[in-house]
Amino acid sequence: MNAEEFDHILTETLDDYRLSRSEKKVLTSLLDPSSMDDQELAFYRSRVFDIARHEVPGPQAFAVLKWVEDVMKALQPKSEKSDAINSEAYFSPSDDCVTKITGLLRSARREIDICVFTITDNRISKAIEDAHQRNIKVRIITDDDKSNDLGSDVDRLSQSGIPVRFDRTSYHMHHKYAIFDSGKLLTGSYNWTRSAATSNEENFIITDDRKLVSNFNKQFESLWKSLE
Same domain for 206 and 117:
yes
Of 81, 106, 122, the domain-final residue: 81
Same domain for 92 and 69:
no
pLDDT exceeds cutoff 80 at 86: yes
Q: Please tell me the total count of domains within the chain.
A: 2
Same domain for 199 and 91:
yes
pLDDT exceeds cutoff 50 at 81: no
pLDDT in tens, 94-148: 888 999 999 999 999 999 999 999 999 999 999 999 999 999 999 999 998 877 6
Per-residue burial over 58-70, b = 16 or more CB atoms within 10 Å of its CB, e = otherwise: eeeeeebeebbeb
For the chain, give the mean pLDDT: 85
Full-model pTM? 0.64
Same domain for 215 and 114:
yes
- Helix-strand-coil split of the chain, %, nearest 5: 50, 20, 30
Range of the domain at 118: 87-226
pLDDT-based confidence at residue 193 (cuts at 50, 70, 90) = very high
Of 81, 115, 133, the domain-final residue: 81
Same domain for 94 and 54:
no
For residues 153 and 123, give the distance between their C-alpha atoms in angstroms, rounded to a whole number.
Answer: 10
The CB-side HSE value for 76 (13 A sphere, CA atoms) comes to 12
Give me the phi and psi of 181, to 5 degrees please: 55, 30
**Mean pLDDT for the stretch of residues 141-165:** 87
> Which residues form the catalytic set?
174, 176, 181
The residue type at 37: D
Same domain for 124 and 190:
yes
Task: Give the pLDDT confidence score for residue 48 in this predicted structure.
Answer: 80
**Mean pLDDT for the stretch of residues 186-213:** 94
Sheet (strand 87-92) strand order = 87-92, 202-207, 184-188, 176-180, 111-116, 137-143, 164-167
